[in-house]
Amino acid sequence: METCIPEGYKSLLSIYDTQKAISLIHRLFEDRLGALLNLYRVSAPLFVDESSGLNDTLNGYERPVSFEILRSSHKAEVVQSLAKWKRLALKRYGFYPGKGLYTDMNAIRRDEDELDNLHSVYVDQWDWEKVILQENRNLDFLKLTVMDIVTAICDTQDTIQAIYPQLASLGKLERRVSFVTAQELEDQYPGMSPKQRENHYLREHKTAFIIGIGGALRSGKPHDGRAPDYDDWSLNGDIMFWDDLLDCAMEISSMGIRVDPETLDRQLRLSACDDRRELPYHKALLRGELPLTIGGGIGQSRVSMLLLGKAHIGEVQASIWDQETIDRCEKAGVMLL
C-alpha cells in the first residue's frame, strides 16, 4: 500500500508523551515476554562476518549493507535479522531446553520497495529464540507459543491504557487467536493476492496466526517468501492484528519452529540453495550440532504503532523517507521523527 493518512487523523499523544510511552512499552513488553516464554536478555551483533552464513537472506534478493574492516581480511554485513545467530548463541551460551534469549535487533533493509505507513528502510524488532525438545516440534507447541506472545502484547496494552486513558478510545486488541493455514486462505479466497486474503480474514477475525509460509501452495506459489535455512515451512507463520485506523491487517511477528537437519536438507534442495551447505553455520546444523529451537522477530515500531494508535511508522521511529511521503505527512499534520 502507498502512504495514506486517514482523514481527520490526529495523534492521541504529544511527541513528548509518545517518546515516554514507547520507552514504557519496551520495558513492559520485554518483562512480560520474558516471563511467559522463559527468556533472558542478551547482547547481539549489529553486523556479522560475510562468510559465516549467519546473516538472514530473507527472500534471497535483498542486498545486505556490507563494509570492509580496516586491518582485517573480513568483510562485514549489517544483519538483516538474527535468525541464525540466535541459534548458535544458544549453543555457545549453554542454554538448555525450556530456556531462551531475546535481544534488540536493528537492521537496514536497503531494498525495501514498500516505503509506506508500515514499511521502513530501518527495522527494529525483538529477536527471540528458545531451545526445545524433539517432542515440541509440532503445531500444538507452536500455537501455545503464539498465544503467549499475543498475551504479552495485550497485557502491555492494558497497562499503557491505564497510564494514558486517552488511548482507551482505540479499544482492546482481540486476545483470542484465530489459526488458519496459508493453504486454507488460498482455498477460501481464490483469485486474491496473499495481502488481500490477509485483509479479508483479519477484518473478520481481528487477531490471527497464518501457518505455513515459505513453501509452495497448491497454486504453485508460496503465500510469502521465507529463507530455507531457519524456519521449518510447515511449522511457522505470521502473527497479525487488524488495525482499525489503517483499515488493514498488520503483521507483528514472523516466527516458527526452526529447521532440523532433515528439514534443512529438504528446503535447501527445494529452493536451489545447495551452495549454502558449505557455509560453517549450515555444516554444523546439517551435522546435528545445534540445538532444536523455536524463535522469531516481533516488530518494535509496529507494536508501538498499534498500541499508541499511530497512522505512520515514522511517528515512532527515525528513518529516511521519500519526498512524496514527507509531503503527504506534512499536509496531514503528521510529524515524522
Q: Using pLDDT thresholds of 50, 70 and 90, give the confidence band for residue 56.
A: confident
C-alpha cell at 24: 514504557
**Is 251 marked active-site?**
yes
Q: Using pLDDT thresholds of 50, 70 and 90, give the confidence band for residue 248.
A: very high
**Is 271 marked active-site?**
no
Whichever domain contains 236, its CATH number is 3.30.930.10
122 pLDDT higher than 70 = yes
Domain assignment present for 66: no
CA–CA distance, 259 with 303 (Å, rounded to integer) = 27
Give residue 158's identity as a one-letter amino acid code: D
**Is 301 marked active-site?**
no
How much is the average pLDDT of 191-196? 92
How much is the average pLDDT of 127-148? 97
**Is 254 marked active-site?**
yes
The pTM for the full model equals 0.91
Domain assignment present for 60: no
> 87, 109, 137, 276: which one is catalytic?
109
Domain assignment present for 77: no
Domain assignment present for 181: yes
Domain assignment present for 20: yes
Kind and range of the H or E element at 6? Answer: none
**Is 238 marked active-site?**
yes
Q: Measured between alpha carbons, how far is residue 59 from residues 50, 56, 117, 233, 271 in Å?
A: 17, 9, 21, 13, 11
Q: Contact, 281 vs 56, CB < 8 A? A: no
Domain assignment present for 55: no
Q: Computed from CA positions of residues 231, 292, 106, 240, in that sequence, does the dihedral angle turn out positive or negative?
A: positive
Q: Strand, coil or helix: what is 115? A: coil
Closest among 269, 230, 212 to 57, alpha carbons compared:
230
Secondary structure letter of residue 276 according to DSSP:
G
**Is 109 marked active-site?**
yes
Domain that holds residue 313: 15-40+82-331
Domain assignment present for 134: yes
> 125, 300, 301, 304: which one is catalytic?
125
Domain count, the chain: 1
320 pLDDT higher than 90 = no
Domain assignment present for 208: yes
Q: Computed from CA positions of residues 288, 128, 200, 123, in that sequence, does the dihedral angle turn out positive or negative?
A: negative
